Amino acid sequence: MELKSMDPVEMPIFGSTLKLMKFWSYLFVHNWRRYVAMTPYIIINCTQYVDIYLSTESLDFIIRNVYLAVLFTNTVVRGVLLCVQRFSYERFINILKSFYIELLQSDDPIINILVKETTRLSVLISRINLLMGCCTCIGFVTYPIFGSERVLPYGMYLPTIDEYKYASPYYEIFFVIQAIMAPMGCCMYIPYTNMVVTFTLFAILMCRVLQHKLRSLEKLKNEQVRGEIIWCIKYQLKLSGFVDSMNALNTHLHLVEFLCFGAMLCVLLFSLIIAQTIAQTVIVIAYMVMIFANSVVLYYVANELYFQSFDIAIAAYESNWMDFDVDTQKTLKFLIMRSQKPLAILVGGTYPMNLKMLQSLLNAIYSFFTLLRRVYG
């Protein structure tokens, strides 16, 4: 009863992710914090592209502003999507909660171990991502300090007073405002990544539970085997529906992030070769590590889900199916046939997100970066 009444925000598998989203009112509540966090980012993001077009600053700061503009666009899209589809996300999280509680209440010690491992991994990833996000925020604020000219952490265009934005006291005022904005953006960008990673890790957990159930068929009596296989088929349907719902929520955003990741990494590579000081080089490397690590985690867990769903059929085949009666063998064969279609996180509703796709993207990024370097050289 205590588990059933558990607040979704308190689910251990999410760590602090949902708590941060609730605090900033992206999910579960609707208050002024949402607008305090999003409004400055939307306004600045609109002016960033104008500033890039009209900029007379050095090339390294223009390139950095391009990176920040794309990053801000990605951040704003995440925040807007959460606000617009808030109730869809909350319904999905409640579905996950019901599945999670079902596994927590299991008497099977192996399932309990699998749940603990997944929870521990999810919390670890979320903490690492938050730490890297905090380091990146510090980099945003400190990067201009090491420049040869006076610039703001984020480029922006200010109508009527744009020519005075680097003069005191305007520069100090805008610098402080942008420094305050940095952690607010981090709480919009990083928790979303952590939430999607947790969704995918839970789908992987469901795959592993199915594999365990199928490999344990030999421990059951003959009259119990058919019922267990039918349970596995029903659970597989739940798993398939879970992944489909996840794709319906995130697939178009994955396409936006696919394009943004390519643009940002290419820009950062270019920034690395034109950085003026060692300190700026270190900060750019920190940017690259953060953005690359965030994307690699997403692609890795999506790739793991892709292959874990294949392993369901392998686990079924590894059972002692030759000892079952004909009807039970047919039921098991039906489950194996259903498992031949892998469960995939889709990018734009079309392409499966996996490490092969990431490798292709990195090859394209490096080719474009090489072209930019030759032109600049």
Q: What are 351's strand-pairing partners?
A: 347
For the chain of 377 residues, list the mean pLDDT of each consecutive stretch of 10: 75 92 91 89 89 76 81 89 93 94 91 95 93 84 75 80 78 87 86 94 95 86 83 93 94 88 82 76 81 88 93 86 81 86 89 90 84 72
Give this prediction's pTM.
0.91
Q: Which amino acid is at 119?
A: T
Dump strand ranges (E) for the chain: 346-347, 351-352
pLDDT at 317: 87
Those residues with Cβ within 8 angstroms of residue 35's Cβ, 6 or more apart along the chain or in another chain: none
Looking at residue 1, its pLDDT comes to 43
DSSP-derived secondary structure for 254-283:
HHHHHHHHHHHHHHHHHHHHH-SSHHHHHH
Structure-token pair, residue 4: 């059933």
Predicted pLDDT of residue 281? 81
What's the confidence (pLDDT) of residue 249?
A: 93
Q: At what angle do helices 170-215 and 86-104 cross, to 10 degrees?
A: 40
Q: What pLDDT shows up at residue 242?
A: 95
Peptide bond preceding 169 in cis form (omega within 30 of 0): yes
**Helical pair 86-104 and 222-274, crossing angle rounded to 10 deg:** 130
The CA distance from 69 to 79, in Å, is 15
Q: What is the pLDDT of residue 327?
A: 85
Q: Identify residue 61 by its one-letter amino acid code.
A: F
Contact 27, 82 (CB under 8 A): yes
Q: Are the CB atoms for 197 and 229 separated by under 8 Å?
A: no
157: alpha, beta or left, given left = phi > 0 and alpha = psi -120 to 50? beta
Instruction: Report the distance separating Cα 181 and Cα 186, nearest Å.
Output: 9
Per-position DSSP letters for 185-229, written without gaps between them: HHHHHHHHHHHHHHHHHHHHHHHHHHHHHHHTGGGS-HHHHHHHH
Structure confidence at residue 63 (pLDDT)? 78
